[in-house]
Amino acid sequence: MQKDKSKGTVLITGGAVRIGRAMALTLASAGYNIVIHYNTSKSEAQETKKEIEKIGAVCGLIQADLNDAKQYIKMMDKVFTLFPTCNILINNASIFERGSFVETDEDLFDRHMTINFKAPFFLSQAFSKCCRDGLIVNILDSYVTKETGAYFSYLLSKKALYSFNRMAAKALAPNIRVNGIAIGTTEISKNIKSEDLKKKRDILPLREEVKIKHITHTLMDVVNNHYITGQCIFVDGGDHLL
């Protein structure tokens, strides 16, 4: 049976698969209703919705291409029309495409900056206009402290979001908190082979790869501690220290 009462509603971009899905299920179990944004992962979104409803939470699905500003602004309007209790936005969706500085063309640059930075920027802005007391969580990459160049425009977009995290926290206080979670390589990262994961684990200060439980535990700490804003918590086994 679906709940009539909840702690609020969470919009998760890219919430149908991998880390987004895990966060959605965790927050549903904690008493929140969920809105899952997806672009092409319709069947996965529907499966995640079924699992959330089994938990007893309400779940809505909204499709939008975050490379199109008109679509994601309409998405936010729709979310607050259908779920006026929306009080948490998780900017999770992103693309991760290889390209060094000299290999990066204008199209690759624009895709990364639009989906990974511009969309979270304006979704957060729209959220802040509709929510009086809430939380924004930006999902970052622990490599934001480094200058590796194989994924140049991807990392640049995440670095921009990392800086935005602090600036937005100051701009939106005291009504809306803004925090980031910078995630290291996980067992469900795209295009990561098991042997590469083992090599990564062996050089980490904590000698353990990031697991989903580490991410979801951190998320709930950020959600529940109302005295935290402007922070970025690195969940990476110490990778950002290397």
Encode pLDDT of 118-150 as tens digits.
Answer: 999 999 999 999 999 999 999 999 999 999 999
pLDDT of residue 173: 98
Torsion angle (degrees, nearest 10) of CA 183, 185, 187, 191: 120
Tell me the C-alpha to C-alpha distance, in Å, between residue 103 and each of 100, 114, 184.
Answer: 5, 18, 25
Can you give the pTM of this predicted structure? 0.94
Domain boundaries 9-241, corresponding CATH code: 3.40.50.720
Looking at 1-10, 86-95, 103-112, 181-190, which range is the least confident one? 1-10
User: For position 185, what pLDDT does the model report?
Assistant: 84
Encode pLDDT of 69-83 as tens digits: 999 989 999 999 999
Distance (Å, rounded) from C-alpha 190 to C-alpha 193? Answer: 9
Answer whether 188's CB lies under 8 Å from 19's CB.
yes
Q: How far apart are CA 117 and CA 120, in angstroms?
A: 5
- Contact in structure between 153 and 102 (CB atoms under 8 Å): no
